[in-house]
Amino acid sequence: MNERRAMRLGYLKRHTGPLMTVGAVSVLGIFATAVFHAVTGRGLGPEAFGLLAAFLSIVNIAAIGASALQNSVAVGTARSLAETVEGGGVVRPTRRWDSATIEALVLGGVGTLVVVVFAPLLADQLATSALAIYLAALTILPSFLFSVAQGRLQAVGRATSVAGWSTSSQILRVVLAASALAAGLGAVSVLLAVLIAITAAAVAAGWQVRGSHLRTATTAFSSHSIVLIMLTLSFAWLTNIDVMLVRMGTSESHAGMFAAAAVLGKMILIVPTTLSLYLLPRFVNRQGDRGAMKFGVNVILLTVLGSGLVAVLGMTLLRGFLISLFFGAGYTEAADLLPWLALAYLPWALAQGLLIRLTAAVSRLALAVLIGAAVIQWVAVRMVLPDLGATIVVVGVLGVLVVLSMLVLVSRHSRKMVAAE
């Protein structure tokens, strides 16, 4: 018992400082994200903000899809480095067109093409011009290239740099969006600000890793990389598509209210995202250490659950103040939705935390769970709309089912490690 306690204290001493540093940088990014939505929400009004949120759901799905590639690059690079060290070899310089870069170009290019092809249909569904859809499409490729640089930095433990570049991108978005709205421009100008910020961050992060000896040893689109990419992409779909479904299935005003509440409610998802920056490569490198793996999972669950409950309580007690502070007086209905949306997204935050462990294990069963949940979500939400209350219930109940399934999968992997010993 004393040995176990000493081991846990050792883990805490070794990792608390770096995690707090990454957390502090990420908090600044969270604040910048909140300010961005506050500025755009106040500057555009409920209907235009609901439209912007629908555009940004395309950007967000692509961006988190790009973070799927980031996870794949981080896991692949960490494994390659570990194998090189164990074999006593020398890490070869990164080729200009290594597998990660090829995957980024292909995925980013295909994603851009798909959105461009469906732009007229989306514009018709959202009752807007296709120009904004095209701008949203242009953010996809730089997002994927950004993810390659971020994945390489993450793999070598430079989590602070990863969080720093993401935070810098968020701050630049705020500055550019505020300037555009101050000049009297609309939602399309905000999308242009997002495009510029993403491109600038991609160039800067790529410059940092230029000439590095970091590479993935696998071929492009190996079975492992496909599973890793699809894990995060499917989770991104599940936690972002609800805003677009609501936009398509209810009035513009109600969609804007839902979008405003969802922006604040989903902020809890940033906690497991931050933990992933630090813990994912360490889960990869400690696959054979059952004690370390169990400790890491427990830290994730306690951190996400604790911060999530605090967030739900805060958003319940301060819902009117928060909505008024960030979005102004025209979002009264959003204040009523906020506590329930925050509670509905809590199990999704827990699921995202467990996904760190399952991503390190390249779990195909986890992917099957997420794909199944995506199908259920699409059908169920479309069935209950335009009832926003029922939509929130679907989001929450589905989140509980997903997190329970992931707990079973994590337990299964733990039992496999015991059997291997």
The sign of the torsion formed by the CA atoms of 293, 366, 270, 333 equals negative
Q: Does residue 13 surpass a pLDDT of 60?
A: no
Mean pLDDT lowest for which of 50-64, 77-91, 175-189, 340-354? Answer: 77-91
Average pLDDT over residues 246-251: 83
Residue 222 gets the label, from left (phi > 0), alpha (psi -120 to 50) or beta, of beta
Mean pLDDT lowest for which of 205-214, 296-305, 357-366? Answer: 205-214
Q: What is residue 223's predicted lDDT score, i.e. its pLDDT?
A: 77
Burial class, 118, CB count within 10 angstroms (exposed 0-12 / middle 13-18 / buried 19+): middle
Average pLDDT over residues 246-275: 85
Which pair of structure tokens corresponds to residue 285? 């490198």
Cβ burial 27-59 (10 Å sphere, 16+ → b, else e): ebbbebbbbbbbbbbbbbebebbbbbbbbbbbb
**Residue of 277, 211, 290 lying closest to 74 (CA atoms):** 277
Mean pLDDT lowest for which of 285-289, 366-370, 391-395? Answer: 285-289
Tell me how far apart the alpha carbons of residues 154 and 138 are, in angstroms, rounded to a whole number: 25
Q: Does residue 14 surpass a pLDDT of 60?
A: no
User: Which pairs from 387-395 meet CB under 8 Å and 24+ separation?
Assistant: 388/246, 388/250, 388/254, 388/257, 388/258, 388/337, 389/340, 391/242, 391/245, 391/246, 391/258, 392/337, 392/340, 392/341, 392/344, 393/344, 395/242, 395/341, 395/344, 395/345, 395/348
* pLDDT class of 374 with cuts at 50, 70, 90: very high
Q: What is residue 327's predicted lDDT score, i.e. its pLDDT?
A: 78
Q: What is residue 227's predicted lDDT score, i.e. its pLDDT?
A: 86
Q: Does residue 93 surpass a pLDDT of 60?
A: no
Burial class, 13, CB count within 10 angstroms (exposed 0-12 / middle 13-18 / buried 19+): exposed
Query: What are the φ/ψ torsions at residue 271 (nearest 5 degrees)?
Result: -65, -55
Q: Does residue 415 surpass a pLDDT of 80?
A: no
- Check if the beta carbon of residue 300 is closer than 8 Å to that of residue 364: no
Q: What is residue 94's predicted lDDT score, i.e. its pLDDT?
A: 47
Which pair of structure tokens corresponds to residue 326? 């960030």
Q: Does residue 352 surpass a pLDDT of 90?
A: yes
User: Among 134-138, 254-258, 348-352, which range has the highest average pLDDT?
Assistant: 348-352
Cis before 386? omega within 30: yes
Q: What is the pLDDT of residues 120-174, one digit of tens each?
A: 887 777 667 778 788 888 888 888 888 888 888 877 767 777 778 888 888 888 8
Mean pLDDT lowest for which of 3-17, 380-394, 396-410? Answer: 3-17
Average pLDDT over residues 179-207: 84
CA distances from 39 to 44, 61, 326, 407 (A): 8, 22, 7, 39
Tell me how far apart the alpha carbons of residues 49 and 131 are, in angstroms, rounded to a whole number: 17
* pLDDT class of 283 with cuts at 50, 70, 90: confident
Burial class, 320, CB count within 10 angstroms (exposed 0-12 / middle 13-18 / buried 19+): middle
DSSP 218: S
- Check if the beta carbon of residue 77 is closer than 8 Å to that of residue 147: no
In the chain, % helix, strand, coil (3-state, to 5) comes to: 85, 0, 15
* pLDDT class of 229 with cuts at 50, 70, 90: confident
**Residue of 390, 314, 302 lying closest to 353 (CA atoms):** 302
Tell me how far apart the alpha carbons of residues 26 and 281 are, in angstroms, rounded to a whole number: 18
Q: What is the residue-averaged pLDDT of the chain?
A: 79
* pLDDT class of 340 with cuts at 50, 70, 90: very high
Task: Give start and end residues of each alpha helix (H) in 156-269.
Answer: 159-182, 187-208, 223-249, 252-265
Residues 6+ apart with CB under 8 A from 415: none
Q: Does residue 80 surpass a pLDDT of 90?
A: no
Higher pLDDT, residue 246 or 62: 246
Average pLDDT over residues 325-332: 77
